[in-house]
Amino acid sequence: MRYRFIDEVTALSLDGTPRIEVAKTFDASDDAFTGPGGSARVPESLLLELMAMTGGHLIFQHLGERRLPLLLKVPECRFDGVARPGARLRAVAALRGASAVAEGADVVEAETEVYAGCERVAAGTLMYLCVAVAGVDLAAHGGRL
C-alpha cells in the first residue's frame, strides 16, 4: 500500500480554539481495497485512522512540535455515511481540552469529523497521551520519525 496519512494540510489555526483541516484521497488500487470488502468503500478503520492522524497533527503543532501525541482512547466514534475510494475527503479536528498528567505529559482531547463533499461520513472524540521522546528532537524531524 502506498499510504500517506494526510495528503495535504488545507487550513491550520492555532489561535483561539486550535483547528486543522486536511485532505485525503484513498486510491482504489491500494492494498486496503483487496480484501473481502472490495473497493466499493473506504474501510471504517481507515476513516478512524484519518481522524486520529488529523487530530494528532493538530496537537503536535499546538504543543510546539515538542511532544508526540499517541492515540490513547476513542470515547466516541460514529460512521454516518460511506466514503468512496477516489473521492477527496476533508477531515477536520478541533481541540476540546488538555490536562497535565505528569511532568512532560498531557492528555489532550480532540473532536474530529470526515466529510465526502458536504456529507459527514464519520465523527469522533479522540484522546491522546502526549509525551516527550527522550533523546529525540521531534521538531528537527518535522514530526516524522
* DSSP structure string for 49-61: HHHHHHHHHHHHH
Confidence of residue 131 (pLDDT cuts 50, 70, 90): very high
Beta partners for residue 131, in sequence order: 68, 105
- Give the C-alpha separation, 105 to 143, whole Å: 17
Confidence of residue 142 (pLDDT cuts 50, 70, 90): low
CATH architecture, domain defined by 8-141: Roll (3.10)
Q: What is the pTM of this model?
A: 0.89
What would the pLDDT profile of 69-82 be if each residue is shown by its tens digit?
Answer: 999 999 999 999 99
